[in-house]
Amino acid sequence: MSTATATLWTIDPTHSEVQFKIKHLVISTVTGSFDSFEGSIEADGNDFSDANAHFEADINSISTNNEDRDAHLKSDDFFDAENHPTLAFDSTSFEKISSSEYKLTGDLTIRDTTKTVELEVTHGGTVEDAYGNTKAGFEINGSINRKEFGLTWNSVTEAGNVVVGDEVKLALNIQLIQNG
C-alpha cells in the first residue's frame, strides 16, 4: 500500500458498537460490550482492499448489564484490567472476497497474549452524511477461544454444568469517518 495516497478513516464511536456473546451454563447466552474504543483504517481508494486496520478497546468499559459480573470480568480471573487496560487488534491482511465481503486477518492482543484471528467483514456502503462527511459502514463477525488469551477462569455447578463457555462470538458494527 502506498502511504502517499492512503486515506485515513477513523471510528465514529457514536454510531458504532463492539459486542461479544458467550454461553452461560451452556443453556443461554450473555451479551456484553465495550463502551470505550477507538480505531482507524488506512486505505488506498474506497474499496478498502489491502487496508491497514488498528483497533483498541478499554477493558474498564466492559458492560454486561450486571455490575458484579463486569467487576469479575475486569479482575485477574479474566481480563486483569489493572495490569492490561486495553485489548488491541492490528491487521495483517484485508482481503476483498466479493463486492462487499472481506476477510480481515490480524493480531489480537489480550492480557499480553497475541494470536492471529480471522474475521468476516461486510461493507455496508460509503455515503456522504448531511454535514458533508464521507462515512463507511462495516459489520465485522468472528469468534475466538477465550482460553487461548489467558481468560481461563471457570467453574462447574453441582449438576456438572460449565459456567462459562470457551467460544466468544464477536460482533462489531463500525461506522468510519473519512479524515482525508
- 167 compared with 82, residue with greater pLDDT: 82
Which structural domain, as residue segments, surrounds residue 47?
7-172
Contacts of 71 (CB under 8 A, 6+ apart): none
Identify whether 19 is part of a domain: yes
Identify whether 150 is part of a domain: yes
Compute the radius of gyration of the chain from its Cα atoms. 17
Instruction: Read off φ and ψ for residue 59, nearest 5 degrees.
Output: -60, -35
DSSP category for residue 75? S
Q: What is the pLDDT of residues 100-148, one digit of tens each?
A: 999 999 999 999 999 999 999 999 999 998 989 999 999 999 999 888 8
pTM listed for this prediction: 0.87
- 25 compared with 100, residue with greater pLDDT: 100
Q: What is the pLDDT of residues 53-72, one digit of tens each?
A: 999 999 999 999 889 889 98
CB 31 within 8 A of CB 66: no
Identify whether 79 is part of a domain: yes
Question: Within its chain, how far is the Cα of 20 from the centroid?
Answer: 8
Give the chain's domain count.
1
Residue 19 is part of a domain; what is its CATH number? 2.40.128.110
Identify whether 104 is part of a domain: yes
Identify whether 1 is part of a domain: no
